[in-house]
Each structure stands twice: as C-alpha cells, then as structure tokens.
Amino acid sequence: MTATICGTGSYIPSYTMDNHDIARLVETSDEWIRERTGVARRHIIREETTVSMAAEAARRALKDADVLPEEVDLILVSTISSNVIIPCAACEVQKELGAVNATCFDLSAACTGFVLAYNTALAYLAGGVYRTALVIGSESLSNLTNWKDRGTCILFGDGAGAAVLRACGGQKEAGGSGAGPYLPVTHSDGSKGAALTCKSRHDFNGLAEEGRQSSPEDMTDESHYMQMDGQAVFKFAVKRVPEVIGEVLSLNRVSTDEISYYILHQANKRIVEAVAKRLAEPMEKFPMNLQEYGNTSSASIPILLDEMNREGRFAAGQKLVLAGFGAGLTWGASIVEWNR
C-alpha cells in the first residue's frame, strides 16, 4: 500500500511588507536583502491566525481533491507559531471544516515540519491505519519575529499550505523490496539547536532550570523571538540538504535524471542555488517563490506545491523531491510521485 497527493491548497495573507518597508524599521536596504536572500516582500497576517489560514488552505485542498470533510481520517498541522496551544491547531481546523471523523494532532519541527508531517501521514496510510489525510503547514512567524533585529526580520513571512493524501494500492518497489511508498530519509541533531532558537513565553530565560521562580519582568525582549546564527544555519543547509537528497535517491534507487523538480524549503535563494550546484542539477528543477513570501517555515513547501499544481506544472508520473531543513537542527527529504 502507498499513498498519493490528490489535492493541494494554500492561503496567503493579502497584507504585504516589501524590503523598503523593512528598511524603515531596521538599518538595511532592498538591495542588501535581495542580494543576500532573494526575498523582495513577505505577506503578514492582519485578521488571520495560524488556525484560520490552515483551515482555508485545507478547504481549498479538499476542493481540489474533490474530497468531503467527512472523508478525512487524519488532520496533521505542522506549525511552530500556532495561536492556540490547547486545543491543538488540527482540532480547531477539524471544527472549522466539519471533518468529524478525523483524528487530529499537531507536529512541531520548524522548517522540516511539512516533510515530517507528510512522512507521518504516509506511514499511517501505507500501514492501512487511515485512508485519507490532510497535511497542513501553517505559520504566523511575524508573531515570533523581532522587528528590531535585522539579521532575522528580513527573512520571514506568514502563510499556509495543505495537501490531501489518499491511500492507494502498492505499485512500486519500496527501497528495492516489496510494494510500498518511497522511503524518506530524515535526521535531527539536537546538539546544534542553539543555531536557531525561540523560547516559550513560559520559560523566562531558563530560570526554571536554575530552580528560580520566574516573573514576567525576567523575560527579555529577545528571548521569546526567533534568534539565529545565520551563517551557521546557512553552512548547515548547503552541506546537509544535498547530502540528504543524495541519500533518499540512493535508498530508493532513483536517479537525478528521474526527478522533475526539487521542492526545497524556501529559506534563501543562495541556499537553493548552492544545493542545485552541489547536486549538479539545473536551476530549472528548483522552483522558488521565496521572493514573494520570504521564509514561511513549514508552510513554504506546501505553498510552492500548490502554486505549481494550480499552474499545471506537474504531470502524472513525474517524480518530485521534497526537502526541508531548519531549527532543531532537523533535515529530511522524501520522494513524491505525482499521480493525479
């Protein structure tokens, strides 16, 4: 048994901030941001929330897949920026959609989150536990952004993307043996977590670890915003992403010639270009939309998938690689066969 993507959807807030708007907040320029990151503007929530964007992206994906909410068995929301802690965002989405038969939970793995959520849903479907899954990445990173820090506030944006997965008969050799889905390759290295952090509002500078009672005054401006060692993350990404793509291709005995597109997490144009170069693959196989949205963490891959789907850029039988990387550190890649 395996599973296939049978519909996609996305939701992008209409309010935008371009690089000139950012340059009014911190000392930077449109030229610097474009050159170092490729980002020109980002969309930022106003009325929306992580849950409302997730629900709208999901609605659009269900419509695209021609699947009714009642048919959904599993809703997985990947997010690091939900407006709700309990109930989980996935349960809130269930309520919005009326997907009364779904089991719902959230998954938190930052920019690798969508790939891990996709793999989780695939494992349930391939194992025969569920038949139809809704996998969503939704982020309101603007709420976690320190708008006084030019090293990070230039990078991030808000949005949501979703995919509907359906179980189908096994048609291929998995990892070379037996029928089943393509096997993913994923890694985590918690020892390098300091490269990209964002403290919970309940952990005021780690005072609990020191056995001291914390108070709101202990919370610094910065600790509950994303903090990043940009160069460390950059070096990690350009080394590990081509490696993990090589691993997933070799595990599944798929050659680069068979891959139509590499759908990478949209963090930085220079990272995407470096990955293409290391894999010796042409840039045409590396679609990008980060110029319009910035880095939307776990929403970036499903937003790009949805845009390409709606533009008619996929054909049945094409193979895609999804690759995510980010905080944790975490990174991973999956092969998807487009079969619509």
Which residues are tagged catalytic? Answer: 111, 265, 295
Residue closer to ligand ACO, measured from CB, 28 or 309: 28
Residue closer to ligand ACO, measured from CB, 170 or 230: 230
Q: Which among 17, 211, 51, 31 is positioned nearest to 140, based on CA atoms?
A: 51
Q: How far is the CB of 103 from ligand ACO (least distance, A)?
A: 27
Q: Which two tokens stand for residue 151?
A: 């090293």
User: How far is Cα 201 from Cα 192, in angstroms, rounded to an integer?
Assistant: 22
Q: Which helix (H) or strand (E) holds 107?
A: strand 103-107
The number of beta carbons lying within 10 Å of the beta carbon of residue 127 is: 11
Residue closer to ligand ACO, measured from CB, 81 or 132: 81
Q: Which helix (H) or strand (E) holds 324?
A: strand 319-326
Q: How far is the CB of 222 from ligand ACO (least distance, A)?
A: 16
Residue closer to ligand ACO, measured from CB, 184 or 328: 328
Q: How far is the CB of 141 from ligand ACO (least distance, A)?
A: 8
Q: How far is the CB of 33 from ligand ACO (least distance, A)?
A: 6
Q: Which among 261, 252, 270, 244 is positioned nearest to 325, based on CA atoms?
A: 244
Nearest-CB residue to ligand ACO?
A: 326
Q: Which helix (H) or strand (E) holds 126?
A: helix 113-126
- Rounded to 5 degrees, φ, ψ at 159 are 160, 175
Which chain residues interact with ligand ACO by CB under 6 A? Answer: 28, 32, 36-37, 110-111, 150-151, 154, 196, 228, 230-231, 233-234, 267-268, 295, 297, 326-327
* Residues sharing a CB contact under 8 Å with residue 44, sequence separation 6 or more, in sequence order: 13, 15, 16, 17, 142, 157, 158
User: How far is Cα 141 from Cα 226, in angstroms, rounded to an integer?
Assistant: 9
Residue closer to ligand ACO, measured from CB, 77 or 133: 77
Q: Which among 247, 224, 233 is positioned nearest to 193, based on CA atoms?
A: 233
Q: Which two tokens stand for residue 124?
A: 């349930």
* Residues sharing a CB contact under 8 Å with residue 290, sequence separation 6 or more, in sequence order: 37, 38, 39, 266, 267, 268, 269, 272, 300
Residue closer to ligand ACO, measured from CB, 13 or 294: 294
Q: How far is the CB of 48 from ligand ACO (least distance, A)?
A: 20
Q: How far is the CB of 330 from ligand ACO (least distance, A)?
A: 8
User: How far is Cα 127 from Cα 304, in angstroms, rounded to an integer?
Assistant: 28
